[in-house]
Amino acid sequence: MTPNYNYPAEIKGKRKLYSLFYGVNNPLEVISGNHAIAGDTYYLKATLTNKNFIFSQDKEFIEYILKQNQKNYFKSDIQSVTLRKYLGKGLLTNNGKDWLKQRRLIQPGFSKAKIAELISIMNEEINKAFTPFPDEPEIDLHDFFHTLTFNIVAKTLFSSDIDEESVKELGKIITEVQEVFAKEVRIPFYSQFLKSIGVIDKMIKKSTEAKNIIQGVLDKRRNSKEEKNDLLDMLIQARYEDTQLPMSDEQLIDEMLILFIAGHETTANALSFIFFEISLNPEAEQKLKAEIATESENAFGTESLMKKSYTTNIIKEAMRLHSPAWAIDRQALEDDNFKNYSWKKGTLIILYITGLHRNPKYWNDPDSFIPERFDDENAKNFAYYPFGAGPRLCIGEHFAMMEMALIVRRFYKSYTFRSYHKELQKKALVTLRTVSLKGKIIKNLI
């Protein structure tokens, strides 16, 4: 007997067609519109592929999927199959026991103690990047932050000098892959069309080029025979508990590529949104500068950067309004239910973090930039998951928060940024990014 499933309110008819096709280029607008129509959790069936989707911006539902019953959910084929063919089998795209083994190997490299050792290297890269500011006051911070955060990841995690051309080439490849990937997963059967005209093969070739650049970093380290005591050394020397064997070169390069991408992409995007919001909110900027002045040189030390502060409030609030991880996907391994809803094995769950972060059920004045809201003693329980939640919480959360706090404080100690944009043009690919953030840098008078 076929079981009856009680899916949430369904999006169908003209709205469904609109969602399936207009959502390719405007997923935030479409998903937000569907939630406005159907409520915080809704159902959509993709007719051509016969796939069932549940979308949710409900805090309890999201916590159920990511925490309470996380063992019943893998990352969906969207990442574990489609994205994997470009980026390899690393932490971002892996599932199950393989993922857990890799996580246990890599986790020690992201402890708070390890991250604290990296501040001096971060400062060196920031100093280098800030040097041209007095002579070049006009800038696109979107491009600037992508280069800066990439260089910080290269130096802090892998002690590597990657030339500027390679940095630009990797950035270009990452963007191209994301553009194609987004179309593949949003348009039914589009991957077959892309394959037939050679686009998929071209992108796989591009990703091979990216891996070759990473292979160069690995070869350089091995040939130098130096010990750097960084994440790369740890990965090379790490041994699996069950076999006592090291990672294969293929696995090592996949993990390095994922860490390069994840370690700079989301942070660069977040920084663009942070500086945009500070530019539009002069009172927040004044409070930030006052905090930097009060902290004096301590403002750039590990203890100050890692503690709760107005600086971290600004970062958290900007990431609430513009979460780079705008959605999280999961796939049900078995039939499941939550409250009045039930769904079948294989159902794709899209946890809409952008909607959760602006849901008026959980946030007063949800579209306004109010850093002070994170002063609340209950802030830890907010409907707020910019780094995910549960066992797959982002491994680099502490690294990213310290890096962003350091860049924000170092910049606003000496400069002000005035954005030329009153609104940002956003692109929702694997991560949410702005197309550009152009503006003017003004040196502080004091």
184 pLDDT above the threshold of 70: yes
Cα dihedral 180, 181, 186, 192 sign? positive
Distances (CA, A) of 80 to 90, 352, 431: 10, 19, 16
CA 262 from centroid of its chain's CA atoms: 6
Cα dihedral 74, 75, 78, 82 sign? negative
Q: Report pLDDT for 2.
A: 55
What confidence tier does 1 reach under pLDDT thresholds 50, 70, 90? Answer: very low
What confidence tier does 61 reach under pLDDT thresholds 50, 70, 90? Answer: very high
Listed range (108-117, 179-188, 269-278, 408-417) with the worst mean pLDDT: 179-188
Concatenated DSSP letters of 108-133 = GGGSHHHHHTTHHHHHHHHHHHHTTT
SS3 393: coil
The pairing of beta strand 73-74 with beta strand 328-332: antiparallel
Phi, psi of 54 (to 5 degrees): -115, 125
Percentage, residues of the chain above pLDDT 70: 98
134 pLDDT above the threshold of 90: no
In a domain, 1, yes or no: no
Mean pLDDT of 30-37: 97
In a domain, 292, yes or no: yes
Contact assessment for residue 304 and residue 362, using Cβ atoms and an 8 Å cutoff: no
SS3 for 200-247 is: HHHHHHHHHHHHHHHHHHHHHHHHHCCCCCCHHHHHHHCCCCCCCCCC
Mean pLDDT of 326-343: 96
And the tokens for 439?
A: 């503006």
Concatenated DSSP letters of 267-336 = HHHHHHHHHHHHHH-HHHHHHHHHHHHHHGGGGGSHHHHHS--HHHHHHHHHHHHT-SS--EEEEESS-E
And the tokens for 177?
A: 């892959």
What confidence tier does 228 reach under pLDDT thresholds 50, 70, 90? Answer: confident
157 pLDDT above the threshold of 90: no
Q: Report pLDDT for 182.
A: 76
In a domain, 3, yes or no: no
Here the CATH number for the domain that contains residue 65 is 1.10.630.10
81 pLDDT above the threshold of 70: yes
Structural domain boundaries enclosing 430? 9-443
Mean pLDDT of 248-268: 87
Average pLDDT of the chain, as a whole number: 90
CA 9 from centroid of its chain's CA atoms: 29
Phi, psi of 332 (to 5 degrees): -70, 125
Which is higher by pLDDT, 51 or 8? 8
Per the structure, the count of domains in the chain is 1
pTM of the predicted model over 0.95: no
Contact assessment for residue 15 and residue 49, using Cβ atoms and an 8 Å cutoff: no
Listed range (172-186, 249-263, 352-366) with the worst mean pLDDT: 172-186
Contact assessment for residue 102 and residue 96, using Cβ atoms and an 8 Å cutoff: no
Q: Report pLDDT for 248.
A: 87
Which of 63-67, 294-298, 377-381 reaches the highest mean pLDDT?
63-67
